[in-house]
Each structure stands twice: as structure tokens, then as C-alpha cells.
Amino acid sequence: MFRLYGFAVSNYYNVVKTAMLEKGLEFEEVLVYPSDDPGYLEKSPMGKVPCLETEEGVVSESQVMLDYLEDIRPEPRLYPVEAFPRAKVRELLRVIELYLELPARRLYPEAFFGGRISDQTRAEVRPALEKGTAALRRLARFEPFLAGRDFTCADIGAAIHLPLAGDAARRIYGGSPLDDLGELAPYLKRVRERPSFQRTLDDSRQALEAYLKSRGVGD
């Protein structure tokens, strides 16, 4: 039995969780937050979530976990078999993570958690999101999935990360550069109707409500 460590508000945790659901793997969810506790650092050397405990040991870093899952359970496939299409899926994932999710994350304290961000952060993040959106526009195919005709890990990353990034931008700026990518909204709606996403998103919604309530946000 696999044990997936993390918490359901973490989008990287939800990416790995959705991949495991897509592959029909049985796993136990272990609630843990990023920690410098020595015991947890033995599992996740940077103290981050998620990490995945297997019969052979523990692996951390979400991309590593996705690759590992594909190696141990090749079907159903979440990466193309051939090297170049496989690289293009990884390229899409990196663009989404580094150039959209990562800059948008700087908006989250104010967008979602009742905090405040600086004017400098506001000024820096918007052009970064515009540039990331332009890169995604050049790469995305929507035929009908992000990398082409087959559902892949790029779709999992897109359907978990992009709605958060877009929502954060709308809350801070009144609009999101992602809104200009006309094919994105119907694509995300279609992908998020998959049973794996329904479970992941329901769990995430409940966890977020509980977290905000515990901090007195939104009361």
C-alpha cells in the first residue's frame, strides 16, 4: 500500500493524488504539512509536501513521483511512449508550474487567505503571468487535450494549477491573462469532470473550508 503524505489544499499534492486515482492505485493519505521535523525530513529532505512512501522507500518532488508512477504502472498511460512527445508533455508541465503557478503563488496570501501583498508584488506578478500565458498559448494544442489527442500528466497539472492561478489573478487584478486563452475554460471544464478530479477537488474544497475556518478567514 502506498502512503501519500501532504494535505488536500496543496495543489502539488493534488496533482500526484489525481495521477494515482487515474492509474487506479490504492493508497493511504497521511495528513502532514511542510515541516522541518527530523522524522519528516527523513522522508522529504526539503520538508516539503507531497512525498510518497512505497515498499522500497520514500520519494519526494511531485515530478519525480509522476515519473515513478508511470514506471511502475505504465497503463493507463499518462505520458506518451515516444521520447519527443513525452518531452513535450514535460515541457508543458514545467511551463505551467514555473511560469504560471509559481508567480501566481505570490498572490495567494491576499487572494485566498486574508493577507496583504505589496505593490511591488502586484507590479511584478502580472507581466510574469502574461508571459507565462503567451508561452502556454504557443505550446497548448487542445486536440482535445493539452498535448494532443491523449490525456496526460500535462492535463493533470493544467487542471489543478491553472484555475488557482487564474482565480488569484482575478481577485487581485480584476482579470487574468489566462482569460484571453479562449480554448482554456471549456477545456478545463471538460477535464475536471473526470471522476479522479471530482474526488480530488471535493476533498480539496472541504480541506480548504476547514483550514480557513480554523484561521477565522471568511467568517
Does residue 40 fall inside a structural domain?
Answer: yes
pLDDT reported for residue 209: 84
| Spans of the chain below 50 pLDDT | none
pLDDT reported for residue 1: 86
Does residue 173 fall inside a structural domain?
Answer: yes
pLDDT reported for residue 211: 72
Q: Let me know: does 40 contact 32? Beta carbons within 8 Å.
A: yes
Does residue 156 fall inside a structural domain?
Answer: yes
50 shares a domain with 138: no
- 203: Cα within 13 Å, side-chain hemisphere: 21
How far apart CA 113 and CA 168 sit, in angstroms, is 11
Number of domains in the chain: 2
33 shares a domain with 68: yes
Range of the domain at 38: 2-72
131 shares a domain with 177: yes
pLDDT reported for residue 151: 98
87 shares a domain with 66: no
pLDDT reported for residue 217: 60
161 shares a domain with 106: yes
- Of 44, 72, 100, which marks where a domain is finished? 72
**Per the structure block, which three cell numbers stand in for 5?**
503524505
Does residue 216 fall inside a structural domain?
Answer: no
Long-range contacts of 202-208 (CB under 8 A, 24+ apart): 203/8, 203/17, 204/8, 204/9, 204/14, 206/8, 207/7, 207/8, 207/9, 208/8, 208/9
67 shares a domain with 128: no
pLDDT reported for residue 213: 73
Question: 72 to each of 69, 78, 83, 113, 173, how far by Cα in Å?
Answer: 5, 12, 18, 38, 43
